Structure 1
Amino acid sequence: MNSEKQNAESQNINNKPLHLVILGGGTAGWMAANLFAKKWSAHNIKITLVESPDIGIIGVGEGSTPSLKRFFEMIEVDESQWMPRCNATYKVNIRFDGWSPASGVNSYSHPFFSQVDTFTAKSFTVNCQTRRLGLDTHTQPEDFILNGLLAKQGKSPVAPDNFPFQMEYGYHFDSHLLGKFLAECAVARGVNHLKENVMAVEQHVNGDIAALKTKSGNTIAGDFFIDCSGFAAVLMQKTLGVKFNSYKDNLFNDSAIVMPTPISESIPVETVSTALSAGWCWKIPLQNRFGNGYVYSSDFISTDAAETELRRHLNCLDSSEQARHLKMKVGRLETHWANNCIGLGLSQGFIEPLEATALHLVQISLEFFMERFEQGGFSNKNRDEFNTKLAKRFDGVRDYIVAHYKLNTRTDSDYWRANRDNTNISDSLYQVLDVWYKCEDLTKEIESQQIGSYFDAMSWHCLLAGYGVFPPLAKNQPNKGDLYKEKKVQQFLHGCALNFG
């Protein structure tokens, strides 16, 4: 073969598009399609999304963290474009009701932190330290964070032009509608959308995935695959044999019941999580309804009893509204990137939606994958680094969720007692709690463990202070040292809140 022919063949190989094939739609699949199409538009990359016309999305996750705000900024879609289409509302806060009654805390909040909160954060953490020493200080998290006050006042977090600080917030949304909207965006950006039932998966000799075989007889060959097939994990588990690491020993909940109720005249800007006998119930406000769901452990309550408890909680025992029953597979893949495939969304793992981390984990996974894939020349070069980081991220989020159960002070059921008595906690979580109980520097511990990118020191302070994890008050009080009063935090935040409507 002469050099001219060799160069010509090399040119053809180099000009061949890299074909990314996404198996499964839903929010995870369409988020991936949009980010690939937007960020890699200058590269010679072809994107195909294959989804079954017969399998619907679970559609339970209807709340987000502020990372979703960043996602829409990355794909250059304004709130005015997507929020009305998805019945979306703003979310500034998660309120927890009834998780720690014995500590005297009937309700506490975990607001999202914004730039302005840097002025009050130290007062909050110092007050928590002072209270851990037995002195009487103000430690309600929502009273130190602007979004906590906006939640109480029912105000939108969208900052006016004259407000000089960046505001952070999440959203509530209809996940079915969001999936449809993102599909339209991706197709408009050139993503090839195929509605096909995949019947078989072909592999190369080295184990890499070669192609998807559909019921209609089509063969969809690809260079790299993204498994968004849900709990089925068709590519990662069924084809590549990746092990699933269950969190069952850490997190007992494995089931959920979902049903809507009418929306109130005034729409809240927070999610409410209420402890029930064998789990907890979310209440998420959309423009047209409240989304409600009972996340519970089937080891402690039957399906029928759980539905009755949910209906009683919602004051709709006589309602004809049908409830949906779901099973959850809580845990993560041992490796999130195997061969020429990554798992994404429910295919890579699931941690119950207590802190609305599902889409956050999808987005973080996507961003880190795209960065490492491109830096490695669109090869597997950085696969091990990706897997190490994602495993730590999932386990770190798990630990924060586990802490909610471990620290509960309920005594009304075996479920809550079993959670409190559970000794299956990680060394990382044990160390965080040990530092808190010993009145040592929690912020320093979070930094030392390098887990602040999952939930930072302020989030841990919100959880621990919110639960009232403090010793009894000392008999002799100096009646000073409460920075909430001395730094006039209330006055400062109320002044800031005047800028919002």
Structure 2
Amino acid sequence: MSKPINHVVIVGGGSAGWLTAGVLAADHPALQVTLIESPDVAPIGVGEGTWPSMRDTLSRIGVSESAFFRECDAAFKQGSRFNDWREGGGAADYYFHPFVLPQGYGETDLVRAWLDTGAAVPFADLVSYQPHLCVQGRAPKQPATPEFAAVANYGYHLDAGKFGLFLKKHCLEKLGVRYVPDHVTGIDSAPNGDIAALRTRAHGPLAGDLFVDCTGMQSMLLGGHYGVPLLRQKHVLFNDSALAVQVPYAAPDSPIASQTTSTAQRAGWIWDIGLPTRRGIGHVYSSAHTSDAEAEADLRRYVAATGGPADMPAPRKLTFEPGYRQRFWHHNVVAIGLSAGFIEPLEASALALVEMSAAMVSDDLPANRDAMDIVAHRFNDAFTYRWERVIEFLKLHYVLSRRTGSDYWHDNRRSETIPARLRELLTLWRHRAPSRLDFYRIEEVFPSASWQYVLYGMGFLPERDHVTRRTDTAAADPYFREAAELTRRMLRALPSNRELLDHIRLHGLQKI
């Protein structure tokens, strides 16, 4: 009889480890979940943006959203704003990738109708109310809106260090996760090649049935013990370094941005994330195209130009190897988080992939060892597909840029750096809009609407003379009017981001 899966051991804490522990423990009360974490290894502490999926994840594990906002210094995020990506200059060089789908998405050909209007209004601004909410700094809900409910779809900005501690507290106090603060000193193997137990310095051998590797870029179990290689992607996405800094607001009542702002630079881009108490800012760049000193100078110029202090503190340097594992689940080890891979923080896919991974492990948790290899094969297939789509979507931003003046942007447009599938899609999209025909899985990482927002925000326009399908462009007019009316109503009714966050801090949100 095959051995049942009764005990899951998670190695490593941080957001990945504690999110996984929370999902497993909440979904499977009879399952023993143990998390072992070295007390001397601090989490990386970056990754301050989430997708709207995080609302479902936090609700799934039984978290109070009000407590989350207060304890994680969290704010609302309604999408991303991209500055200077198209041409590299001018106040008009920006566009939004909002979290809400276009009005009428899937009902009619919005793109053809937009082109027939002359495309004078940016695509996202015409089909969605959310870019206007972001420009005006509005919150995505009202004080009376219950926890996790939304008027406009939203995710979060958060303090990553505080988030890990918040999840840890919830897992230990509410979900019965066993915590072992200790160092892993060795690995005991079973006759079939599985990991039988982890040897620890103070607690001896720690046996388990399934091990989750959340050890970060070290990838102690999957990469270190099993030698599963990293499929490096630097030939596609060049960025391998980041400088991160935290800066105060100019005044205590300064507006809090409702979106992540990404501003293109000579050899990378700068993120700008607003929390209630400070801004998190960082410069992601390619070490092959600029030096650390030049990157820091660009970062300091940006901070000064956007109201930051003249005496900005020294930034924290981070390096990474862009890539993902050849397999994510091998024998009885599954990697989640940085141990599975990392590309770059553009579009905040890192935490979303953690959520997806934890959910799939929990939803498809094998009953016994015989079923594990089947589940592992399905998991590997799903996440290889997802990593490939993430890479293509991020590369899309660079491929479409018309910036000049540096080798970085020119090299990003070289055909040999563009994945073959993305090249094919761009050829198709010269004649039609991205659709479900291009992204056919039920749970796509980025829906076709996201690709439309970026394509048309970056100035990529289909060749209308070659469109063969007959469409009724007038059918889109009611949806354009609906988006405009929703914009007017929401701008009148919704508070500012800071106003709602102050309300939550003092009064909380009502529970559903």
TM-score band, normalised by shorter chain: 0.7 to 0.9
Alignment of 1:108-147 (within 5 A): 108-113=95-100, 117=102, 119-121=103-105, 126-130=109-113, 135-136=118-119, 138-147=121-130
Which residue matches 2:154? Answer: 169
Q: 2:355 aligns with which of 335, 344, 363?
A: 363
Tell me what 2:45 maps to.
59
Q: Give the CA deviation at 1:205.
A: 2.4
Contact preservation (8 Å) 2:366, 2:375: no
TM-score by length of 1: 0.88
2:298 counterpart letter in structure 1: E
- Aligned twin of 2:204: 218
Aligned equivalent of 1:456: 447
The residue type paired with residue 499 of structure 1 is: A
| 2:327 equivalent in structure 1 | 335
SS at match of 2:186: strand
Of 275, 278, 285, the residue aligned with 1:286 is 275
Q: Does 1:398 align with 2:391?
A: yes
The 8 Å contact of residues 104 and 479 in structure 2, kept in 1 or not, is answered as no
Q: CA deviation at 1:414?
A: 0.9
Give the C-alpha shift of residue 394 in structure 1: 0.9
Gaps of 5+ in 1: 1-9, 475-479
For the pair 1:268 / 2:253, whether they are aligned, the reply is: no
The change in CA–CA distance for 1:441 and 1:261 in structure 2 (over 3 A counts) is: closer
Residue of structure 2 equivalent to 1:465: 456
2:346 counterpart of 1:354: yes
Contact kept? 1:65, 1:356, Cα under 8 Å: yes
* Candidates 434, 437, 444, aligned match of 1:445: 437
After TM superposition, the structure 1 = structure 2 runs for residues 67-146 of structure 1, keeping only pairs within 5 Å, are 67-101=53-87, 106-113=93-100, 117=102, 119-121=103-105, 126-130=109-113, 135-136=118-119, 138-146=121-129
Distance 1:486 1:168 in 2: 18
Match of 1:325 in 2: 317
Q: Is the Cα–Cα contact under 8 Å of residues 104 and 110 in structure 2 kept in the other structure? A: no
The yes-or-no answer on 1:237 pairing with 2:255 is no
* Structure 1: distance between partners of 2:340 and 2:463: 43
Structure 2 counterpart of 1:500: 494
How much has 1:322 moved relative to structure 2? 2.2
Q: Aligned-residue CA RMSD in angstroms?
A: 2.9
Structure 2 residue aligned with 1:181, among 166, 174, 193? 166
The letter of the residue matching 2:160 is: S
Cα distance, 1:353–1:484 mapped onto 2, change above 3 Å: farther
Which of 188, 195, 217 is 1:209 aligned to? 195
How far off its partner does 1:167 sit? 3.8
Partner Cα distance (1:446, 1:434) in 2: 12
Give the TM-score normalised by the residue count of structure 2: 0.86
Between the aligned partners of 1:482 and 1:98, the Cα distance in structure 2 is 33
Gapped runs of 5+ residues in structure 2?
466-472, 496-512
Asked if 2 retains the 8 angstrom alpha-carbon contact of 1:103 and 1:468, the reply is no
Distance 1:367 1:84 in 2: 25
Q: Map residues 367-446 of structure 1 onto 2, 5 A cutoff.
A: 367-374=359-366, 379-437=372-430, 439-446=431-438
* Distance of 1:203 and 1:150 partners within structure 2: 55
Q: Is the 8 A contact 1:254 1:295 kept in 2?
A: yes
| Separation of aligned partners in 2, 1:160 and 1:85 | 19
* Greater mean alpha carbon deviation, residues 400-409 or residues 210-219: 210-219
Structure 1 residue 405, shift from structure 2 partner: 0.8
Structure 1 residue 253 and structure 2 residue 239: aligned? yes
Contact preservation (8 Å) 1:91, 1:169: yes
Name whichever of 277-286 and 320-329 sits farther off: 320-329
Question: What amino acid does structure 1 have at the position aligned with 2:83?
Answer: D
| Structure 1 residue 435 displacement after superposition | 1.4
Rate the CA distance shift 1:223–1:160 in 2: closer, same or farther, 3 A.
same
Structure 1 residue 143: deviation in Å? 3.9
Amino acid at match of 1:214: T
Deviation of the 1:331 alpha carbon: 1.1
1:164-218 CA-partner distances (Å, limit 9, x unpaired): 9864211000000000000001111211111111121221122211111223362
2:510 is aligned to none
Q: Distance in 2 between matches of 1:349 and 1:79?
A: 29
Between the aligned partners of 2:443 and 2:332, the Cα distance in structure 1 is 30
CA, structure 1 residues 332+221, in 2 after alignment: closer, same or farther (shift >3 Å)?
A: same
CA distance in 1, matches of 2:25, 2:479: 52
For 2:99, the aligned partner's letter is F
> Which of residues 280, 285, 290 is equivalent to 1:296?
285
Distance 1:374 1:252, change over 3 A: same
Name whichever of 164-173 and 398-407 sits farther off.
Answer: 164-173
Structure with higher RCO (Cα < 8 A, 6+ apart): 2
In structure 1, what is the equivalent of residue 141 of structure 2?
158
Residue 10 of structure 2 is aligned to residue 22 of structure 1: yes
Give, as a single letter, the amino acid of the residue that structure 2 aligns with 1:436: W
**Which secondary structure state, in structure 1, belongs to the residue aligned with residue 428 of structure 2?**
helix
Cα distance change, pair 392–159 in 1 and its aligned pair in 2 (3 A)? farther
Q: 2: distance between equivalents of 1:300 and 1:487?
A: 43
Question: Given the superposition, is the C-alpha separation of residues 376 and 426 from structure 1 closer, same or farther in structure 2, using an over 3 Å criterion?
Answer: farther
- Quote how far apart the aligned CAs of 1:344 are: 0.5
Amino acid at match of 2:302: H
